[in-house]
């Protein structure tokens, strides 16, 4: 029993005294090891994200999701990887998962209009039209009017969409996409002649 007690005291002294005896070299060694792990994780996350983008471009939804999930696992605080994960879920038709991932990405980067638009689209696809309208309204300043207008029409409010897109189409430099989305919104509003 005495030997065990002496061993316990010795181990305790070693653990408690290590920072004093080892000083900065021991603590520094732990910090270096920690930074190496973080760097390795960041590199692996970037590699997985690149593979997800490639799979997405190639039309392989399941592979894209697998790689995007791995990227988020390696770097969970990276909003870009969470956005990518949400986009892969959207592409795979997993709308509830897409909304969750895009909502998390938006909390990491609230000024990202593309993420907000994709979140609204995931909400529309899930049948959450009121929530999607709120998302579009909240992020109106960061979502381009041409995209926001069509998304508003898809939430079941084509008259508001037409108003948004009509105003955008009258602006100098309005592009063909804006006019096309206006035509689609007019058609959804039942105004076929104007849509034509």
Per residue in 51-78, pLDDT (tens digit) is 999 999 999 999 999 999 999 999 999 9
* Confidence (pTM): 0.76
Question: Mean pLDDT for each 10-residue chunk of the chain (196 residues)?
Answer: 42 38 42 59 93 95 96 94 96 96 95 96 95 96 94 92 91 88 86 81
End-to-end CA distance of the chain: 94
Q: Which of 176, 137, 132, 139 is nearest to 154 (CA)?
A: 132
pLDDT in tens, 134-147: 999 999 999 999 99
Burial environment of residue 72 by CB neighbours within 10 A (0 to 12, 13 to 18, 19 or more) = buried
3-state helix, strand, coil in the chain (%, to 5): 80, 0, 20
DSSP one-letter code for 174: -
């Amino acid at each position: 029993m005495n030997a065990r007690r002496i061993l316990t005291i010795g181990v305790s002294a070693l653990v408690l005294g290590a920072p004093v005896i080892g000083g900065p070299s021991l603590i520094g060694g732990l910090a270096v090891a920690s930074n190496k792990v973080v760097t390795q994780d960041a590199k692996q996350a970037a590699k997985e994200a690149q593979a997800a983008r490639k799979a997405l471009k190639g039309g392989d939804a399941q592979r894209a999701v697998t790689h995007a999930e791995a990227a988020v696992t390696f770097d969970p605080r990276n909003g870009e990887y969470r956005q990518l994960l949400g986009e892969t879920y959207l592409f795979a038709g997993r709308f509830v998962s897409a909304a969750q991932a895009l909502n998390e990405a938006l909390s990491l980067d609230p000024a990202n209009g593309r993420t907000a638009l994709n979140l609204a689209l995931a909400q529309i696809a899930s049948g959450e039209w009121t929530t999607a309208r709120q998302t579009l309204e909240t992020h109106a300043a960061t979502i381009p009017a041409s995209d926001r207008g069509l998304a508003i029409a898809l939430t079941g409010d084509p008259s508001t969409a037409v108003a948004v897109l009509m105003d955008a189409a009258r602006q100098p430099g309005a592009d063909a996409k804006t006019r096309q989305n206006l035509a689609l919104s007019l058609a959804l509003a039942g105004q076929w002649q104007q849509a034509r």
